[in-house]
Structure 1
Amino acid sequence: MKKLSYILTFLLSTLAFAQNNQLFDEANTLYNDANYTEALEKYKTILDSGEHSAELYFNIANAHYKLNHIAPSIYYYEKALLLKPNDKDIKNNIAFARNMTVDAIDSVPEVGIAKLIKNVTNVMSYDAWAKTAVVFVILFVVLFIAYYFTYSTSKKRIAFLTSNVSLLLAIVSLVFAFHKFKLVSNDQPAIVFAQQTTIKSEPNLRSTEAFVLHEGTKVQVLDTVSDWKKIKLSDGKTGWIMNDDIKMLKNF
């Protein structure tokens, strides 16, 4: 019975994949014919089926951009970029979409040791850093065993030195793995969807106005209290925005 269930699941998945491919081709044809609204409907049908890909998000963003939908176009370009962070076409198109936004927000540049540590941390994913740490631990064990069983003084010295270096590199790799995991966990980007929204100094309507944001602006979510989210801009400003005024980017 379980085997039959697996077969049925496989067949249904194959059928859904074929249907989505057909819908994708139809949507692309509509897009090329400048029928952007109709193309969006087909793209969203694919999305509603549970399929997520950089190509799908990219095409949805393109259709929204053609229709001058500022927030949705940036939102879907950003989601495509999360899946393919080095894609030149996505980077190029999102730059055009960002030009439609009203808010001009400067970024506070990172400098010194903090910038260096972040750059090194971002060289690999936290999984890759963890695997690197495991490799160095294994190398440390092998070299330590070689040190223990070697009788030559020079070879003992080399084995001792390299084993300690391997242990140090394992610890460093593990530190970078935890730091990368923390960076990824704390990175909670969102896009403002409200045409205009007032950011409050506290999570309630009676609090004073901190600043005003417009659709398409990217923010970082720091905290959530009831129907409010605490956000931070790239220039360092913080405030509280209503949940309904933004959409989280990492919700797939």
Structure 2
Amino acid sequence: MRALLSILIFGFSFGLWAQNETHFEKANALYNKGQYAEAIEKYETILDNDQHSAEVYYNLANAHYKLNNIAPSIFYYEKALQLKPNDPDIKNNRAFAQKMTVDGFVETPQVGFSKIINNTINLLSFDNWAILAVASVILFVILYLSYYFSYNTNKKRLAFVLSLLSVIVALIAVSMAFQRYSLDKKDQPAIVFAQESKIKADPNTSSDEIIRVHEGTKVQVLEAFNDWKKVKVSNGSEGWIPSEDIKLLNSF
């Protein structure tokens, strides 16, 4: 029974994959013909089938860019970068799309010790820091056993020093893993989809206006209250924006 179920699941998954490949090829063909709106529909069909890839997001962003759809193009370039963060083509095209935005906020740069710490934390993902920690612990055990059973003084000394270093690396990796997890959990980027939106001092329409943002601007969501989101703009300004005016990037 389980074997039959596995075969059925595999067959369904393969069929869905083949269907998505067909949609992708048709979408690309439409894009190459300059039928960008039709191509967008095909790409979105793939996403509706819960198939997420950097290639689909990238091509979808390109189609929106051709139609001068500022917010969607930047949104999907950002989605593509989440899956391929170091892809030069995605970064380059995103930069072109960002030039269409009205807002030209300059991001407040990190300086000093905090910059060094954050750069170190971001060297590896949470999973990779965790793997490094486990590998260091295993190495410590091997080195400690080598130290314990060795009768050669020089070998014992070397094994002892290396085991201590492996413990230190393990502790640092564990610390970095927790820090990276915390940063990832706090990281809630979003793109403004409203043509113009007023960021308020409090989560209500009658409160004072702090700043105005326009479509395509990237913000960081800090917290939520009813139909409002507290956001931070790259220039450091913070305030409340209607939830309907932005679209979260971390939702798939």
TM-score (norm 1): 0.95
What is the correspondence of 1:126-205 to structure 2 with a 5 Å cutoff? 126-205=126-205
Rounded to whole Å, the distance in 2 between the matches of 1:45 and 1:172 is 44
Task: Name the residue aligned to 2:85.
Answer: 85
Q: CA deviation at 1:55?
A: 0.5
Q: CA deviation at 1:151?
A: 4.0
What is the correspondence of 1:33-72 to structure 2 with a 5 Å cutoff? 33-72=33-72
Task: Name the residue aligned to 2:237.
Answer: 237
Task: Tell me which amino acid in the other structure corresponds to 1:226.
Answer: N
Q: CA deviation at 1:114?
A: 1.1
Rounded to whole Å, the distance in 2 between the matches of 1:184 and 1:72 is 23
Task: Name the residue aligned to 1:20.
Answer: 20
Rounded to whole Å, the distance in 2 between the matches of 1:49 and 1:157 is 59
Task: Tell me which amino acid in the other structure corresponds to 1:96.
Answer: F
Unaligned runs of 5+ in 2: none
Q: CA deviation at 1:5?
A: 2.3
Task: Name the residue aligned to 1:212.
Answer: 212
Encode CA deviations 1:51-90: one digit per residue, 9 max, x unaligned.
1111101111111111111100100111011101111111
Label 1:142 to 1:15 Cα distance change in 2 as closer, same or farther (>3 A). Answer: closer
Q: Percent identity?
A: 56
Encode CA deviations 1:88-135: one digit per residue, 9 max, x unaligned.
111111111000100110111111111111112111111111111112
Count residues with an aligned counterpart: 252
Rounded to whole Å, the distance in 1 between the matches of 2:110 and 2:133 is 27
Encode CA deviations 1:214-241: one digit per residue, 9 max, x unaligned.
0000001111111111111112111111
Rounded to whole Å, the distance in 1 between the matches of 2:77 and 2:170 is 37
Task: Tell me which amino acid in the other structure corresponds to 2:99.
Answer: N
Q: What SS does the corresponding residue of 1:240 show, helix, strand or coil?
A: strand
Rounded to whole Å, the distance in 2 between the matches of 1:96 and 1:204 is 35
Unaligned runs of 5+ in 1: none
Label 1:153 to 1:22 Cα distance change in 2 as closer, same or farther (>3 A). Answer: closer
Rounded to whole Å, the distance in 2 between the matches of 1:64 and 1:123 is 32
Q: CA deviation at 1:148?
A: 2.8
Rounded to whole Å, the distance in 2 between the matches of 1:142 and 1:3 is 41
RMSD: 1.4
Q: CA deviation at 1:46?
A: 1.4
Rounded to whole Å, the distance in 2 between the matches of 1:157 and 1:4 is 58
Task: Name the residue aligned to 1:112.
Answer: 112
Q: What SS does the corresponding residue of 1:135 show, helix, strand or coil?
A: helix
Rounded to whole Å, the distance in 1 between the matches of 2:146 and 2:45 is 61
Rounded to whole Å, the distance in 1 between the matches of 2:41 and 2:27 is 8
